[in-house]
Amino acid sequence: MRRALALAAQGPAYGPNPRVGCVLLDPAGQPVAEGFHRGAGTPHAEAAALAAARSRGVDPRGTTAVVTLEPCAHHGRTGPCADALIDAGVAAVHVAVADPNPVATGGAAKLRAAGIEVTTGLLADEGEELLRQWLHAVRTGRPYVTLKLATSLDGRVAATDGTSRWITGPQARAHAHTIRAQVDAIGVGTGTALTDDPSLTARTIDGGLFEHQPLRVVVGRRAVPDGARLRGPGGALLHLPEHDLGAVLSQLAEREVRHLLVEGGPTLATALLAADAVDELHAYVAPVLLGAGATAVGDLGVTTIGDAARFTTHDVTRLGDDVLLVARRAQHARPTEATESVQPVQPGRPSRHPKEEI
C-alpha cells in the first residue's frame, strides 16, 4: 500500500478526479505490475495496472490488487474498475479508503459478491491525507478552502501608505506559485482585483507559466475592468457577483472545483474565517514589523479568547528568511465504511456568521 500511495502521488493534485495508485501482487506477494491515475478521462489506477501487467505478458489471474481508493462500480468517463478486476480473475483486493462518491461507490460490495476477498482501511490515515481535498469536496459538496496569508510578524499586509511589495521574500513567493499550480481555482475579492490588479497565474521562478493554470475567481459585485491582468494569459476568469459565501462555494463545487486557494484580500479572508469556511491556512510570515497598516484579517466577531478561530499546526517550513506555517481546522469525524454517506459533514465549530457578507 505504501508503494500504491507513492504511485498515487504521481498523479496531478488538481482536477476533478482523485489521485489513485494500484499495485498487483502475485500469489507469492511479489509486485508484478503497477499503475496510477493521470487525470480525468485517462484510465483509472486499477485499469492502468491491469494494462501494465498484460503489456508485460503477465496474466493478472490470481493476483492481489492493492488500491488506495475503493474500485469504482460505475460507467463514468471510463468503465467500472470492479468489473475489470472481476473479469481479470483477481483473487483479492486491499483498499485504503472507501469511495464516498455516490456515483462511483459500491465497488467493494460488487467484488465481494463475485467471491473476491476485499479488505478496506489499510493505511487509511495516509490514504485520507493524500486525498484530503478531494474527499472533503466529495463528502461535503464544497471545495476544500486553503487561505493564503503573507504577512509581517505583526500580521500586517501593507504599511500605512499602502506599500506592500515585498513583505515576504522570493522563496516564499516561489513556493506560493507552486501551490497555485496544484489547485483548481484561486479566489480573490473584488477589492484585491481592483487595488492590486493581480494576474493570479501560477508562474515558475523564471516567470514562465506552469502548464496547469487554475481557474481565476473574483468574488463580489464590482466589475473586473476590461484591461485587468486577470483577463490576460492564465486560467479562465470566473466573476461571481455574489455576497453569499455558501453560494460561491456551491457554484464552484458544481464546476468540480475540489481545491480553492484564497489569496485575499482581508475582506474575503475575514468573511471566510468568520463563516468557519477555511479548511487550511498557509501563513507566510516575514521577520518584519510594521506596527501600523492593514492587517491580513479583520474583525471576526471574537470578543473572548475561547471564541478564537483556532487551527492545528500541520507543518512548518523555513523559506529563506520567512516561515510557512500550514495549519488546518480541527478534523471532523470521518464516516466509517458502514455509515459512509454523501450528506454534508456538519462543521465542528458552529459558524458565527452563517450569512456572512463579503
Integer Cα distance of 120 and 335 in angstroms: 13
If binding is defined by CB under 6 A, does position 218 make contact with ligand AOF?
no
* CA neighbours closer than 13 Å in the CB half-sphere of residue 167: 27
The distance of closest approach from Cβ of residue 2 to Zn ion in the complex, given in angstroms and rounded to an integer, is 21
Q: Are strands 185-189 and 117-119 parallel, antiparallel or unpaired?
A: unpaired
CB 14 within 8 Å of CB 183:
yes
If binding is defined by CB under 6 A, does position 61 make contact with ligand AOF?
no
If binding is defined by CB under 5 A, does position 202 make contact with Zn ion?
no
CB 263 within 8 Å of CB 233:
no
Task: Please say which residue, 44 or 175, places its beta carbon nearer to Zn ion.
Answer: 44
If binding is defined by CB under 6 A, does position 111 make contact with ligand AOF?
no
If binding is defined by CB under 6 A, does position 1 make contact with ligand AOF?
no
Integer Cα distance of 26 and 35 in angstroms: 15
CB 28 within 8 Å of CB 91:
no
- Contact letters for ligand AOF, residues 29-58 (x by CB under 6 A): --------x--x---xx-------------
CB 149 within 8 Å of CB 284:
yes
The distance of closest approach from Cβ of residue 249 to ligand AOF in the complex, given in angstroms and rounded to an integer, is 19
Which DSSP letter does residue 305 get?
A: G
CB 253 within 8 Å of CB 137:
yes
Pick what 37 binds: Zn ion, ligand AOF, none; C-beta below 5 to 8 Å, kind-dependent.
Answer: ligand AOF
CA-CA-CA-CA torsion sign (163, 171, 323, 313): positive
- Return the ∠ at Cα 346 (arms to 107 and 316), rounded to 5°: 90
SS3 of 197, please? coil
Q: Name the residue among 301, 300, 252, 261 with its Cα closest to residue 284.
A: 261
Stretch that binds Zn ion, among 78-86, 193-201, 224-232, 319-327 (CB under 5 A): 78-86
The distance of closest approach from Cβ of residue 95 to Zn ion in the complex, given in angstroms and rounded to an integer, is 12
If binding is defined by CB under 5 A, does position 98 make contact with Zn ion?
no
If binding is defined by CB under 5 A, does position 94 make contact with Zn ion?
no
If binding is defined by CB under 6 A, does position 110 make contact with ligand AOF?
no
Residue type, 56: R
Task: Please say which residue, 93 or 278, places its beta carbon nearer to ligand AOF.
Answer: 93
If binding is defined by CB under 6 A, does position 104 make contact with ligand AOF?
yes
Classify burial at 28, counting beta carbons within 10 Å of its beta carbon; exposed 0-12, middle 13-18, buried 19 or more: exposed
The distance of closest approach from Cβ of residue 32 to ligand AOF in the complex, given in angstroms and rounded to an integer, is 18
If binding is defined by CB under 6 A, does position 141 make contact with ligand AOF?
no
Number of residues in contact with ligand AOF under rule CB under 6 A: 16
Task: Please say which residue, 37 or 139, places its beta carbon nearer to ligand AOF.
Answer: 37
Q: Name the residue among 46, 257, 286, 307 with its Cα closest to residue 140.
A: 257
The distance of closest approach from Cβ of residue 181 to ligand AOF in the complex, given in angstroms and rounded to an integer, is 20
Which DSSP letter does residue 307 get?
A: G
Is 126 considered catalytic here? no
Q: Among residues 50, 72, 130, 245, which is the contact residue for ligand AOF, using CB under 6 A?
A: 72
Contact footprint for Zn ion (CB under 5 A): 44, 72, 81
Contact footprint for ligand AOF (CB under 6 A): 17-18, 20, 37, 40, 44-45, 69, 72, 76-78, 81, 99, 101, 104
Active site residues: 46
